[in-house]
Each structure stands twice: as C-alpha cells, then as structure tokens.
Amino acid sequence: MSTAGATLRIFGFASLGSALLFVAITPLIATASDLPGSQRLIAAAVLLALAAASLVFGLWAVVVGSRRVARTRRVLATGHRVEAVVVDLAQSRIEVDERPMTVLTMTYRAPDGRTVTSKVTQLVPLNVANALTIGYRLPVMIDPLDPNFIVVNWGEAAAVSRAALLRTLGEAAIETVITS
C-alpha cells in the first residue's frame, strides 16, 4: 500500500476529529468563559474557523489519500510487472515511527520499450533495507495508464532478498545466524 496515501488518510481522519472537537467545545467557551462578551464571541469565532479549516483539510486528505491507496491497489492488481534497477538512494526528511522514508530513483524498461526513470518515496521494509544498494533489482508494477507511476512489490522483493542471501551465504549460515 502507498505509504503516502495511507499516511494522508490517517491525517485526514485526525483532522476531521479535530474539527468535531472544535465544534463541540465552542459552546462551552462561548457560555462558560470568564471572558467579556465580545471576547467570548471572538474565541468562539476562532474555534469555528479552526473547525472549518480542519474539516476542509480533513476531507481533502481523506479523498486524496484514498485515491492514492486505490491507485496503488489497482496497479498491484493490473499493472505490468517489470524489474527496476535502483540508481540512487537517499533518505527523506520525513520519518514514520522514527524511521526515515527512503527516496528510491529507479530505471526500468516500460512495456513500449523505452527506458523510464521514476522516483518513489516509501518506507523500505526492514527485511529488505539492509540489502538495498545502488544496482539492486526490485520487482515493480507499472501503471498501464501512466508508465511513470510504479509500485514496488515489497513482498516479492523480500523473497528475492532472502533467496539472494541464501545463495550468497548458504542455508547453514542462515540457520546459524537465526538460531544464534
């Protein structure tokens, strides 16, 4: 699933919750405050403005995040499978659970034969992160409607990473590392 889309949806729902909270506490501020009448109205107006802004942002984030997630699922289900080569790796400034997201620049051959370069910013699964270097080959799915949009198939990438590790070290070495 698209990390950005899923994260955007979460922020959207949180923002909608904030909007409801602002609307709920507005009457309390307007009636129970020790502020003079005009200041109570200003405080209530500010809370309602915050509620409106939170509502607009929340609705936008939920819709855009849901579209990204739906597009990612569609591409995983109906896209063209190709192998992409990582040509650049960089950490983004965005962190999720204290893990930086990775900006992957990859090249691949589109179904029409041309070479395409795309960037993907995602959390790289821990079981692939240590093996991921420039030149690493990742299985990706290309959007048939837009060959510049790709989705990394991390499940398949993890299996490929494990198989490469087994070939390199041998089954006995892996068992020794796991049981130690």
Over residues 160-177, the mean pLDDT reads 53
Residue 118 phi/psi, 5-degree rounding, is: -135, 155
Residue 135 near residue 86, CB atoms below 8 Å: yes
Nearest to 116 by CA among 148, 143, 145, 75: 148
| DSSP, res 122 | E
d(C-alpha 56, C-alpha 61), whole Å: 9
Q: Is the pLDDT reported for residue 12 higher than 50?
A: yes
Nearest to 104 by CA among 115, 91, 116: 91
Residue at 117: amino acid letter:
T
Query: pTM here?
Result: 0.62
Model confidence over 100-131: pLDDT tens digits? 888 899 999 988 888 999 998 888 887 777 77
Tokens of 59: 């609705």
Q: What angle do CA 51, 52, 55 make, to 5 degrees?
A: 85
Mean residue pLDDT across the chain: 76
